[in-house]
């Protein structure tokens, strides 16, 4: 299986889940999506991660993002695990967990890394846009829980830069100044696109207030 790269179409699939069978592209519809994998059910780090995702439900909703998790365990195991997650994390899991018992989705998304484990999926994240294109991939070791504030930050950056001619600098947070893309040089276009003005630190490094604020 070739590694999925940025800009590739996220592979479609139909697979059982904690809420019943899911046809992935149809389920996504015109939303952004986050597909994130877990080594197994009833694992401590993943329990905290799914709880964190559930608590961010409103944050994902206002960004038009649908989260979906994956583990290689079967549906009944997922349902029992969700009960534990809700109890221990003070949350209510309100998104599906794919039951990838036959490893079909794991193979499509290259989630089995034999040098890490021959059976468990690695802890990967895919951010997918409404055109079903992969916009970000992250893979963590089993020992390190994901930072969901960073995932939200990346979504904010992707959605901002998708619709405005800007990029986000190092450590950018929503509301900070952004960078004007170097391809825009015409003064009239600059004035039209960035009416708040900009600061040219260097000809190639121009900072402007966030356009959608």
- List the domain boundaries for the chain: 14-146, 164-208
SS3 154: helix
pLDDT, residue 129, reads 97
Burial class (CB in 10 A: 0-12, 13-18, 19+), 44: exposed
pLDDT, residue 142, reads 78
Digit-coded pLDDT (tens) for 25-51: 999 999 999 999 988 889 899 999 999
pLDDT, residue 62, reads 96
pTM for this one?
Answer: 0.90
Burial class (CB in 10 A: 0-12, 13-18, 19+), 199: exposed
Whole-angstrom Cα distance, residue 150 to residue 127?
12
Top-tier CATH class for 14-146: alpha beta
Question: Which residues are marked as active site?
Answer: 46
Look up the CATH number of domain 164-208.
Answer: 3.30.1020.10
Whole-angstrom Cα distance, residue 56 to residue 140?
20
- Quick one: pLDDT band at residue 107, thresholds 50, 70, 90? confident
Averaged pLDDT, 105-122: 70
């Amino acid at each position: 299986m070739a590694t999925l790269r940025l800009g590739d179409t996220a592979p479609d699939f139909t697979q059982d889940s904690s809420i019943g069978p899911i046809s992935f592209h149809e389920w996504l519809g015109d939303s952004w999506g986050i597909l994130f994998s877990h080594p197994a059910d009833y694992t401590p780090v993943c329990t905290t991660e799914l709880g964190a995702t559930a608590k961010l439900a409103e944050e994902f909703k206002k960004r038009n993002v649908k989260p979906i998790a994956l583990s290689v365990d079967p549906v009944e195991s997922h349902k029992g695990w969700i009960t534990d997650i809700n109890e221990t994390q003070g949350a209510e899991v309100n998104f599906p967990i794919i039951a990838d018992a036959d490893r079909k989705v794991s193979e499509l998304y290259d989630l089995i890394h034999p040098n890490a484990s021959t059976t468990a999926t690695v802890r990967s994240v895919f951010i997918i846009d409404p055109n079903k294109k992969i916009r970000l991939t992250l893979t963590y070791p089993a020992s390190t829980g994901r930072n969901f504030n960073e995932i939200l930050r990346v979504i904010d950056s992707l959605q901002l830069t998708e619709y405005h001619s800007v990029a986000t600098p190092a450590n950018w947070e929503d509301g900070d100044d952004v960078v004007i893309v170097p391809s825009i040089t015409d003064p009239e276009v600059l004035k039209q696109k960035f009416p708040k003005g900009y600061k040219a630190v260097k000809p190639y490094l121009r900072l402007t207030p966030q356009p959608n604020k």
